[in-house]
Amino acid sequence: MVSEPKNRISERALTVWRISGSIQTLFMLLFSGGMIGLTVKFEWPNWIIWIAILLLIAYAYLIIYLFPSLKWKRWRYEVREQEIELQRGIFIITRTLVPMVRVQHVDTQQGPLLRKYKLATVTVSTAATIHEIPALELEEAEEIRLFISRLARVADEDV
């Protein structure tokens, strides 16, 4: 059995995901509100209102509470001398290997939310694929970026 990658992403990722989940829920609220408004105005059957409310609650529960927790629990990464290993997924768990020699470039990026919480996302690109490690502590992200870019270059000169 292959063991899990070692490192977890920052715990503040949970907060960030919950906030962005809340923002998404606002859109759902708009939709549900609209549905309820229309139902009242045109005197549609009452069960539509109940369904709209139920949907909203379920959506909020999943996207604000359940999914971020599951996602965070599952997210693991490990950057080693020769390869990067990632594990992610909510229902479907995906494990990915990226050899250092294949890495073409590595970026860190921050949206406004991530910046507020001093987090950054690291993106690793190969010639064919792009891989993302979301919401790492800023210093850690910076460190990883330097580490990968150095190793990627070393590997290239080795050929």
Partner 1 sequence: MFEPKRLHPITAVLSFFKQLKELFFPFMVFIFLGTRDNEGISSFVLVIGATGILLLLLIKGILSWYRFTYRIEDNELRIEYGLFVTKKRYIPFERIQSLDLSEGILHRPFQLVKVKVETAGSNGIEDAEGVLTAIKKEEAEAIQEIFAASKRMQKDKGLNETEIQVEDNIIYQATPKELFILASTSGGVGVVISAVLAFIFQFEEIIPYERVFKGLEEFVTSGLVFVSLVLFVGFLFAWIIALIATMIKYANFTVRKVGEDLVITRGLLERRQFTIPIKRIQAIRISENIVRQPIGYATVIVESAGGSSVNEESSKVVLLPVIKKSKIQALIEPFLTEYLFTDDFKTVPRRSFIRYLFRGWIYVIPLIIIPILIFKLWGLLSSILFLLVSSIWSYLKYKDAGWDIQQLQLSLRYRTLVKHTVFMKRYKIQSFSFRESYFQRKKKLATVEASVKSGLGGTGGTVIDLNKEDVLEIYKWYSSERRLSPTETNLDTETK
Q: Residue 7: helix, strand or coil by DSSP?
A: strand
Under 8 Å between Cβ of 121 and 134: yes
Question: Nearest approach, Cβ of 86 to partner 1 (angstroms)?
Answer: 8
* Ranges within 86-115 binding partner 1 (CB under 8 A): 89, 91-99, 101-102
Among residues 18 and 74, whose Cβ is nearest to partner 1?
74
Is 66 among the residues that bind partner 1 (CB under 8 A)?
Answer: no
Is 128 among the residues that bind partner 1 (CB under 8 A)?
Answer: yes
CB burial readout 9-26, b (16+ within 10 A) else e: bbebbbbbbbebbeeebe
Distance of alpha carbon 42 from alpha carbon 105, whole angstroms: 57
Q: Other C-beta atoms within 10 Å of 131: how many?
A: 18
Q: Which stretch binds partner 1 (CB under 8 A): 31-39, 42-50, 128-136, 138-146?
A: 128-136
Q: Which residues form the interface with partner 1 (CB under 8 A)? A: 1-2, 80-83, 85, 89, 91-99, 101-102, 126-129, 131, 155-156, 158-159
